[in-house]
Structure 1
Amino acid sequence: MRYMATYDLMETMRNTSQWLGATARTMASYPAMALTPNPMIQWMAAWGEVTERTYERMVVKPDWGIRTFTCEDGKDHLVDIRNVVEKPFGNLIHFDVSGREEQPRKILLVAPMSGHYATLVRSTVKSLLVNCEVYVTDWHNARDIPVSCGKFDVEDYTLYLMDFMRHLGPDTHVIAVCQPAPLTLAATAYLAEIDPDAQPRTLTLIGGPIDPDATPTDVTDFGRRVTMGQLEETMIQRVGFKHKGVGRLVYPGLLQLSSFVSMNADRHVKAFQDQILRVAKGQASDHDAHNRFYDEYLAVMDMPAEFYLSTVERIFKNREIAKNEFVVNGHKVDIGKITSVAVKTVEGSKDDISAPGQCVAALDLCTGLPASKKASHLEPGAGHYGIFAGKSWRNNIRPLVLDFIDANSGTPEQADSKVVNL
């Protein structure tokens, strides 16, 4: 499978499906078709519209869609998204609310690199913008990164996070969502050892697989059943000539999307059938619930092959973070070196990706951290998405996280002197 032909074949199939949808929609929209009213004509136009949009979204990076923000002064302020640190595989971006005083809470939101763009945490960003300065890791699509930029694996990811934390300074509060939680914990520990003046004030880990074996799920079981050789042969392909990253080995976004969809195929099929009927009846709109969800869900990005393979092998199979045996650049990272960064974990009771027990395992690894700087929260009835972007996040988890940040916002000495019920 590690050939350009297989990569280009998937892109050809996607492109052809998009063309078929556009053709069906255009043909059914000819004025002459209206001479003979027929429900099949309306159905064909609706099928074409939904199909064209579906396959087109797969190769388009979604927009953040955060252009203005209403502040406490009652005015709408423009939001400028600025690149603060630029790197080949990802940038650190800042959501700068123009005309607003700088907020005391400086938050680094570490977005997942797991198939979707950082815009997946859009609603999380919007909820934090109310009274925080928000910075986000904006990872790049691997197919657009030239081979000359080199590799990018879990160690490089960790070093990127350390550079971002160094740039933002010690008054930063880090929130890691899902996949990056183990590596963010490692980056914090590494900083605590080699550059303690740059470590953040707090670290909040949300639904991350710190110890995948703590509570096995279908995701962790898959990592156990499949060998690394099988993964490399079946999942890894080489980027074709159409993109800047020609020749780079990647885990293609389209292949990832097929895996995502197959997990709940019946639900997705019904969703698209219902949408076609709504379009045919004139009940759909450009930004209805279906399009809002699938415009984001279908937009996928290629992952560097070495990052995907090293994540499966080192985080899930070998459990290097869970065993406190993770090595970066030949240096063994000791999570016990975290002694002043307050750490909080958040889990959802119905999370079927990072089940309860996987994330809270981080607290046991922080052997050098006093109990007063550790906190955990299990959200009843919440699934994976809900703990960082859904109703559970908005109503319950976000206030708890901000309270935790405020309780530990001073210098380590000042924070130690505060007595706050968390």
Structure 2
Amino acid sequence: MRYMAAYDMMETLRNTNAWLGATARTMGSYPATALMPLPMFKMLAAWGEVTERSFGRMNVKPDWNLAAIPGDDQLDHPVEVETTVKGDFGDLIHFKVQGRDAMQRRILLVAPMSGHYATLLRSTVTSLLPDADVWITDWHNARDIPVSAGKFDVEDYTLYLVDFMKALGPDINVIAVCQPAPLTLAATALLAEQDPDAQPRTLTLIGGPIDPDAAATDVTDFGRRVTMGQLEHSMIQRVGFLYAGVGRKVYPGLLQLSSFISMNAEKHGQAMRDQIIAVANGTASDHDKHNKFYDEYLSVMDMTAEFYLSTVERIFKGLEIAQNRFVVDGHQVDIGKITSVAVKTVEGGKDDISAPGQCVAALDMLTGLPDDKKASYIEPEAGHYGIFAGGSWRRNIRPLVLDFIDANSGINKPVRRKPKLKAVKAIKDDMPEALDTNGTIAI
């Protein structure tokens, strides 16, 4: 009950701040205040609007809200989100472009389970849809999953990926973004041993901690300093009575968000101050760059306690993937069994979450894979966010990844076409340029 009280207290604080914001916005915008043209009323209303929106977003799962895709037939094709495989802890969803023929490229995006929803990769999806059929892993908020559904740790996550890959067939190309990179590598190796015909054609690992010890960051340093007992005592709480997962042990999204913000507290504080002034001056809008970014950034989800703790203990502390001794469902996975899946790693030169060296370490582990099926790339000026969703991704990394897929998936000629102006605008509008090289979302 002590941990449930802590969970409810955080939710109460969130509700209270949202209510204070709404109250301030209402009081500052009373028509009668126009009789006294004092700047403080505008500032009060602006502070209230920004505060209400910020704390309100923390409890909301964002919509995909994808624009229609221009086709070669000169028509715009709407995008429908449909579920391909449904699971207790996550679904496999497909972005079906209505009225468009099946594409030669078929891509599975493996989204992180690290505090944010899969919609964090919205701009990545948007950039790939004109040239590929795209699926993505849509992980569920742990607070909404009843305790009766059981546990969900790194082994269960890996088995989910195996099932998703089997469902999509061997002509799929997998792109794992950040946190799931080591587990996606393990899932591919498990398929190589147990069901070779279901292996994907290519595997692209973007900014993932395959070997956290290869290059130190604040994340790896924290993992070394803290004990598992300290983590469980300070980070784990039980879901309160408001949600279907009441009693489930989780690493709360609100607690994760406080950690994210503390990593760049000054930058976030300045961004909020600038937005308040913009609202007061009437220069802000509902879909400006600030709101587009923070509507996503502040929307957080709980992750199961066992997944969080097993990730820290087995991936970061125990280095089970890095040392090729990861066990799934009683079976030790051998990364060296991957012999036919082409593997590419992508890293950012300014990535302070998964530093250069951590991801490319995967290639040395692939002892059974020919060198001509291995590739690596480092984007010198890209931060963690920029390597999968910013300008570096759009301009440099995305074309290289698609070329890698084409070269290793049996496609005889490149099918990538230059996006039409409307599609380019949709991609650019979806991601603030200010965050292209030094994104602040920690995955």
Q: TM-score range by the shorter chain?
A: over 0.9
After the TM superposition, which parts of structure 1 deviate over 3 Å for at least 4 consecutive aligned residues? none
Note if 1:5 corresponds to 2:5.
yes
Match of 1:345 in 2: 345
CA offset at residue 276 of structure 1?
0.5
Moved more, 157-166 or 21-30: 21-30
Structure 2 residue aligned with 1:273: 273
Indicate yes or no: 2:366 matched with 1:359: no
Q: How far did 1:27 drift?
A: 1.3
Partner AA of 2:156 in structure 1 = D
Aligned to 2:304: 304
RMSD: 1.2
User: Which position in structure 2 is the counterpart of 1:108?
Assistant: 108
Q: Is the 8 A contact 1:151 1:306 kept in 2?
A: yes
Find the counterpart in structure 2 of residue 408 from structure 1. Answer: 408
Q: Percent identity?
A: 75
1:236 Cα deviation (Å)? Answer: 0.2
Superposed counterparts of 1:217-296, under 5 Å? 217-296=217-296
**Partner secondary structure for residue 56 of structure 1:** helix
Q: How many Å separate the matches in 1 of 2:107 and 2:17?
A: 41
Residues 282-303 of structure 1 show CA distances to partners (whole Å, capped at 9, x for unaligned) of 0100001110110010000000
Q: Following the alignment from structure 2 to structure 1, what is the Cα–Cα distance between the partners of residues 177 and 157? A: 15
Gaps spanning 5+ residues in structure 1: where?
Answer: 415-422
Tell me what 1:320 maps to. 320
Where do 1:68-87 residues align within 5 Å? 68-87=68-87
Work out whether 1:139 is the aligned partner of 2:139: yes
Secondary structure of the 1:95 match is strand
How far, CA to CA, are the matches of 2:250 and 2:369 in structure 1? 38
Which string of whole-angstrom CA distances, capped at 9 and with x for unpartnered residues, describes residues 94-142 of structure 1? 0000000100101000000000000001110011001100000000000
1:285-338 CA-partner distances (Å, limit 9, x unpaired): 000111011001000000000000000000000000000000001100000000
How far apart, CA to CA, are the structure 2 residues paired with 1:72 and 1:356?
A: 39
Superposed displacement of residue 32, structure 1: 1.5
Partner residue of 2:175? 175
User: Counterpart of 2:376?
Assistant: 376
Paired letter, 1:207 = G
Kindly provide the amino acid, as one letter, of the partner of residue 225 in structure 2.
R
Amino acid paired to 1:21: G
Q: Distance in 2 between matches of 1:239 and 1:298?
A: 19
Q: Quick one: which amino acid aligns to residue 288 of structure 1?
A: D
Shift of 1:35: 1.6
The separation in 1 between residues aligned to 2:8 and 2:68, in whole angstroms, is: 39
TM-score, with normalisation over the residues of structure 1? Answer: 0.97
Q: CA deviation at 1:2?
A: 6.0
Kindly indicate whether the alpha-carbon contact (under 8 Å) linking 1:67 and 1:80 is maintained by their aligned counterparts in 2.
no
The one-letter amino acid of 2:160's match is Y
Instruction: Say if 1:2 and 1:236, in contact at 8 Å, map to a contact too.
Output: no
TM-score by length of 2: 0.92
Distance 1:286 1:145 in 2: 32
SS of the residue 2:7 aligns to: helix
Task: Give 1:8-19 correspondences, 5 Å limit.
Answer: 8-19=8-19
Query: Shift of residue 265 of structure 1?
Result: 0.5
